[in-house]
Amino acid sequence: MLKTQSWNYFQQHCLHIPELGMSIDTSRMNAPDNLSDTLREKFNIALEKMQELEKGAISNPDENQMVGHYWLRNPDLAPNESIQKQIISTLEKIQQFALEVHQKKIKPKNSTKFRYVLSLGIGGSSLGPQLIQSSLGSHEEHMKFYFIDNTDPDGIDRTISSIGKGLSETLIIIISKSGNTLETLNAMIEVREYFNRAGLDFARHAVAVTRETSQLAKLASKEKWIRCFPMWDWIGGRTSILSVVGLLPAALLGQNINNLLGGAKIMDELTRSTKIKENPAALLAWMLHHAGGGKGQKAMVMLPYKDRLCHLSPYLQQLVMESVGKEKNLKGKIVNHGLTVYGSKGSTDQHSIGQQLRDGPDNFFVVFIEVLKDREYLSIEVEPSVTSGDFLQGFLLGTRDALFQKGRASLTITLEEINPQTLGALIALFERAIGLYANLIGINAYHQPGVEAGKLAAADIIKLSIKILNYLKTNPRQKFDAVTISDAINESENTETVYKLLQHLAANQRVLKFPEKVQFASFFQAYN
């Protein structure tokens, strides 16, 4: 006999959103029925701050920036006419560009049309487009997408190999807000070399998405790339999916971007309500706060039971963890707050992590994503009176019940189907929920000092690698171990790093390695 809850209780704790074909069921989150006075007061402040943000307040104090991704789906909210016009004009340019590509008015030099898109980006500049492509792409789509989202040489080679002879029909989109994102620029240089080897004019295939004043924008202008679309300072990478970053891929897929923006706009409007139980984002933020005690004490496990949403979890990892994973709050107090997100998709995760979720430590809550519509046409029966889609829902509801039997918390978001409108609404729901949650706990959701620290540290490592190579080149035909090299270049405190860099250089035939019986005593020499 299944452990169940009353029908009335479910109805009381399931928010139905008919205008979006969506519902949010919090009945299994083990949350109190009502907000405490303290939390109610915090919500009032959080909602006020969200209003101020939408009006153009400096909501990212560390970088002295406005936060304007909500203006993208409603330009009337923009704080001035200039920003308003920029948004509207850019949307028109995206739609016109995609139309001209599909009509073959914009085409490669050596082919009748662009058939493929190769997107180069990292973080939000790739996670967003990948979510768009996986969610809205189909076998009837106008163009096939490929992604390079790392600076891994082998990964680049494999992607280009997958495109194969289609390189001459490939449109390249290079996405970097700053215009100097190293992973993306490295990929661009590598891809350009492939084009050169194939006798293709890279510029005739290239589109930039970047700040209008960036070095990438200047390069695009100098080389006369096909287009250069803008990114604005008031849009952060993790909230850029409904800017050019995600809308351009959607338009090239043949999707109506107005529907994508429209779904987000409706969700934005619903989430301005001061009635917490009727406000989808506030309700979700409440559950996040309750589950983790306001301190992120439990992980959020994302289980979308739909292949189209396989990129939702990695997308939300950045949105959530980069937004609320912070050392200090807005008052400068050390809080080391975080909210871990993991998960892939159902029913795969039932076989990989389901055992621990039910019987292991109770240090998580699950967010199930249920999609009612299986496919565009009627399914065959794989067993009498049962389709493969019936099994998928059975696995979702069964896993949900199995967790409930053990008192494990879960929340279920139900969508009637996946389409541009519902995807836009889902994106907006999590964007606003995380914004409200950050306000509840008093942190800056819109900066990323940890990411910047990692970039600076990586730059130092590259400088060290260059120092090592220069030292070996200036001492040709001489062998040195890691300790000797470290001392010689005044990096004795970083001998471990020097050794690891030498290992990498040797593995890639950039220095000679002379192994010793003791691994760490190996000698290295510059190539003659």
Q: Which residues are catalytic?
A: 322, 351, 455
- CA atoms of 482 and 494, how far apart (whole Å): 10
Residue 419 corresponds to which amino acid?
A: N
Q: Which two tokens stand for residue 439?
A: 């306000």
Is residue 235 within 8 Å of 253, Cβ to Cβ?
no
Phi, psi torsion values for 32, nearest 5 degrees: -65, 160
Grouping H, G, I as helix, E, B as strand and the rest as coil, residue 291 is helix
Grouping H, G, I as helix, E, B as strand and the rest as coil, residue 151 is coil
- CA atoms of 199 and 168, how far apart (whole Å): 9
Residue with tokens 């706990």: 441
- CA atoms of 75 and 90, how far apart (whole Å): 11
**What does the DSSP assignment read for 317-372?**
HHHHHHHH-EEE-TTS-EEEE---EE---TTHHHHHTHHHHHHS---EEEEEEEE-
- Residues whose CB is less than 8 angstroms from the CB of residue 251 and which lie 6 or more positions away in sequence, other chains included: 94, 95, 97, 98, 257
Q: Is residue 242 classed exposed, middle or buried when 0-12, 13-18 and 19+ CB atoms within 10 A define those classes?
A: buried
Q: Which two tokens stand for residue 328?
A: 């200090």
Is residue 224 within 8 Å of 203, Cβ to Cβ?
yes
- CA atoms of 195 and 460, how far apart (whole Å): 31
- CA atoms of 189 and 206, how far apart (whole Å): 12
79: alpha, beta or left? (left if phi > 0; alpha if psi -120 to 50): alpha
Residue with tokens 């060290």: 464
Buried-state track 431-454, b at ≥16 Cβ within 10 A, e below 16: bbbbbbbbbbbbbbbbbbeeeeee
Among 123, 478, 164, smallest CA distance to 318 is for 123
First to last CA, the chain: 76
- CA atoms of 135 and 269, how far apart (whole Å): 23
Q: Which two tokens stand for residue 366?
A: 């699950």
- CA atoms of 42 and 276, how far apart (whole Å): 12
- CA atoms of 346 and 371, how far apart (whole Å): 11
